[in-house]
Amino acid sequence: MATLIANGVETFESCEGGRGHAYSEPTVCFYGQHSERFKALAIALQHGLRVSELRRYYSIEDGEPVGPYWAVTFILKRK
């Protein structure tokens, strides 16, 4: 997440991923229009991060869709 923030991506949530975490893989969620998806992807790839998925989603709050937001998922490093 620090790499994305340092390069101007407005993030709002992240998770290391793995057993007992909110996401099964490392995931960073961020705000932005369509162009932000490619900016975040380019930054991640330029810094050697292994991206497995980039998606746009809405959350549901009180029965109403909120968003859209972006999420980038990374390949989990095995220990």
pLDDT in tens, 28-64: 999 999 899 999 999 999 999 999 999 999 999 999 9
Going from N- to C-terminal start, the domains of the chain cover 2-74
Q: Burial-class residue 5 by CB neighbours within 10 Å (0-12, 13-18, 19+).
A: middle
In 3D, which of 76, 79, 74, 33 has the Cα closest to residue 56?
33
Confidence at 18, pLDDT banded by 50, 70, 90: confident
Evaluate if residue 20 carries a pLDDT over 70: yes
In 3D, which of 29, 32, 26 has the Cα closest to residue 12?
29
